[in-house]
């Protein structure tokens, strides 16, 4: 019996020693998760405006105002400055038509750009010349309303444009007898028109040269004219001997691609009658005459209006 017990004890000892020799199994380490990259920010929505400052002057203030607004609104740069030679991009602009203005540190106008259609990406290279219409600075137009009708709409469109663009008055009204001044107009050649509350034309002019501050005395019959500066205005007297009433007269600077607005408005130049258009900037003009159905009666080209002139229309 003692022999058997000893053998069992030796067997147990061998098992214990074998277990100690093998050691405790090593634990499997937990893998470290790989950090994930944050998702990219969503692309900006709306239109963007990139400004290249080639004006030689630091831009401290930028205004982007809807063309229908009567005020410039808030500065868009905040604490930023667009230094001379640098580029700045403004994003998230609601698509539409805008007037743009940049100023220096003293709020002096460096350049404006009126009636800009902002859609997608637009670039504005500021050179300090008053606007992207090729002018030398900006001018103003002072309108005095002697027409007897309140003016609800004012349009100033580059003569080279095929449409009138946006109304410049916004919520303003030029009541009878009052005066209104539109500022920061880039120098250039424009067609101008005013309308009543029902969009009836009160008075319009084509090919007006904006190279200095102008005044426009609106009388309702195209007898006022836009005047100002050193440039005197001319008149054109038309004698209608065609035997047909003339309902539409178009007067545009020579070689202009489009005819622009009608000069008669609600007037009719009857057969045998005479009509005078005044306030015409001195230049050579093409003139077109139409009947009540817009049939062309005659076109007179290269009319010299560097001074007052008269043309007689024959059958």
How many alpha carbons lie under 13 Å from residue 298 in its C-beta half-sphere? 16
Residue 1 has pLDDT above 60, yes or no: no
Q: What is the CB neighbour count within 10 angstroms for residue 168? A: 23
Residue 75 has pLDDT above 60, yes or no: yes
Domains of the chain, with CATH numbers? 47-126 (2.60.40.2890), 138-313 (no CATH)
Radius of gyration of the chain (CA): 38
Helices (H) and strands (E) in the chain, counts: 1, 19
Residue 130 has pLDDT above 70, yes or no: no
Q: How confident is the model at residue 132 (pLDDT cuts 50, 70, 90)?
A: very low
- CA-closest candidate to residue 139, choices 129, 125, 126, 152: 129
- What is d(CA 114, CA 171) in angstroms, rounded to the nearest whole number? 18
pTM of the full structure: 0.36
**Facing residues of 250 across strands?**
262, 288
Residues of the chain by 3-state class (helix, strand, coil), percent to 5: 5, 45, 50
Give the residue with greater pLDDT, 311 vs 211.
311
Digit-coded pLDDT (tens) for 169-201:
988 999 988 889 888 787 777 888 898 898 888
Give me the DSSP letters along 251-311.
Answer: EEETT-SS--SBSSTT--B-TT-EEEEEEEPSSEEEEEEE-TT--EEEEEEEEE-SS-EEE
Q: How confident is the model at residue 153 (pLDDT cuts 50, 70, 90)?
A: very high
Share of the chain above pLDDT 70, in %: 78
Mean pLDDT across the chain: 79
């Amino acid at each position: 019996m003692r022999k058997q017990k000893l053998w069992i004890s030796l067997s147990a000892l061998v098992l214990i020693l074998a277990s100690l020799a093998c050691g405790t199994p090593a634990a499997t380490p937990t893998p470290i998760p790989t950090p994930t990259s944050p998702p990219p920010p969503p692309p900006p929505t709306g239109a963007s405006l990139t400004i290249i400052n080639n004006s030689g002057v630091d831009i401290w203030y930028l205004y982007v105002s809807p063309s229908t607004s009567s005020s410039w609104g808030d500065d868009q740069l905040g604490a930023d400055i667009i230094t001379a030679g640098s580029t700045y991009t403004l994003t998230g602009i609601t698509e539409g038509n805008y007037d743009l203005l940049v100023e220096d540190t003293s709020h002096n106008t460096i350049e404006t750009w009126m009636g800009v259609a902002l859609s997608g990406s637009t670039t504005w290279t500021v050179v300090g010349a008053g606007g992207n219409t090729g002018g030398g600075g900006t001018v103003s137009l002072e309108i005095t309303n002697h027409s007897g009708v309140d003016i609800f709409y004012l349009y100033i469109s580059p003569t080279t444009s095929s449409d009138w663009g946006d109304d410049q008055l916004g919520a303003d009204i030029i009541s009878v007898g009052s005066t209104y001044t539109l500022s920061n107009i880039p120098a250039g050649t424009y067609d101008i028109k005013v309308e009543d509350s029902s969009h009836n034309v009160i008075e319009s002019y084509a090919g007006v040269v904006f190279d200095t501050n102008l005044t426009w005395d609106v009388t309702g019959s195209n007898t006022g004219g836009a005047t100002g500066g050193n440039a005197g205005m001319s008149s054109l007297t038309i004698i209608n001997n065609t035997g047909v009433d003339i309902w539409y007269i178009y007067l545009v600077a020579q070689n202009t691609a489009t005819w622009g607005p009608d000069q008669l408005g609600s007037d009719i130049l009857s057969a045998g009658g005479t009509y005078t258009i005044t306030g015409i900037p001195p230049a050579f003009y093409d003139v077109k005459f139409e009947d009540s159905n817009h049939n062309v009666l005659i076109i007179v080209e290269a009319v010299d209006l560097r001074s007052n002139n008269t043309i007689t229309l024959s059958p």
